[in-house]
Each structure stands twice: as C-alpha cells, then as structure tokens.
Amino acid sequence: MILLTRRYKFSASHRLHAAHLGHEENRELYGKCNNPFGHGHDYTIEVSVAGEMNEQTGKVIRVEVLDRLMQERVLSAFDHKNLNAEVPEFMATPPTTENLALEIRKRLKAHWKSAFPEVSPVLRRVRIYETKRNIFEISEHL
C-alpha cells in the first residue's frame, strides 16, 4: 500500500456564528471571527489516498481523476466564495475549519466509487491548513 497526498488551494470568506447561541456568547466564543461582515482565508487542502500500485504503470491512481473530483465537487463550490452565503451546508452550520473538513470528506465520499470504478483506492485523510498555524484533519477510514 502506498499513500499519495495531493495539495489544493482555495480562497474564501466566512463568518463564524452559531445560530443557537446569543450575540454575547458568539462574540466570546469566536472572537474577531464573529465579525458580522466576515473575513477570509487562503485554505490549503491535502487529500490522502491509499492504494495498491499498478505494477505496469507504477501508479496508485491517476491524479487527474482526483483533481477533477476535487474541482467539480469542492473547489468550484468553495473557491472565491462567501461560505456562509453561497454554500448551502454552511447557511445554518458555522463554517469552522472542522466543519469544512467534514464537508469536503462527505463530498468526496459521495462520488468516490464512481470516480474510481476499477481500482479501489481508500480516502485516508482530509487535512486543511486554515493558516500555517492551524491545521485540521480527519483520518478515519471510509
């Protein structure tokens, strides 16, 4: 088994606000990230895929397939967007980086098998760098 990790980037704006909490609690919980006008980040995503190497080609997967999946299901929906206003899943749920990681994994899983019909690679990990200092990942098996 070989683990292949590929890195993507997107830029987006968001506001952290929990619908069930009051104004003061939101301010206390999220600090300046609760600013009602929003702010933004340049996110880096790493997607890690484990699989057997094809002896003939020397490759685990065709990276173009993963790129297309990420482009169609994740990047086109998130890049240069306002996450709260333009991504339906974040209209009621705060777009914390934890929730972003969960949502990206969910979107990849939903289309994983149809993207890789012949080989059976495993989506091992989704990792997001919110900034260089704040990194979130989900690594349980699918």
Catalytic residues: 33, 80, 130
By CB under 8 A, the residues from 10 to 49 that bind a second copy are: 11-14, 16, 18, 20-21, 29, 31-33, 35, 37-42, 46
Shortest Å, Cβ 142 to a second copy: 14
By CB under 8 A, the residues from 93 to 122 that bind a second copy are: 93-96, 98-99, 101-102
> Distance between CA 129 and CA 141 in Å, rounded?
20
Report if residue 65 touches a second copy, rule: CB under 8 A: no
Select the residue interacting with a second copy from 22, 24, 58, 118 (CB under 8 A): 58
Q: Spell out the residues 6+ positions from residue 64 whose beta carbon is closer than 8 angstroms to its own.
A: none
Shortest Å, Cβ 85 to a second copy: 5
Residue keyed to tokens 């169609």: 72
> Distance between CA 139 and CA 142 in Å, rounded?
9
Q: Spell out the residues 6+ positions from residue 89 whose beta carbon is closer than 8 angstroms to its own.
A: 103
Q: Spell out the residues 6+ positions from residue 86 whose beta carbon is closer than 8 angstroms to its own.
A: 77
H or E element, residue 102? helix 97-115
- Binding residues for a second copy, rule: CB under 8 A, are 1-8, 11-14, 16, 18, 20-21, 29, 31-33, 35, 37-42, 46, 53, 56-60, 62-64, 79-82, 85-86, 93-96, 98-99, 101-102, 131-140
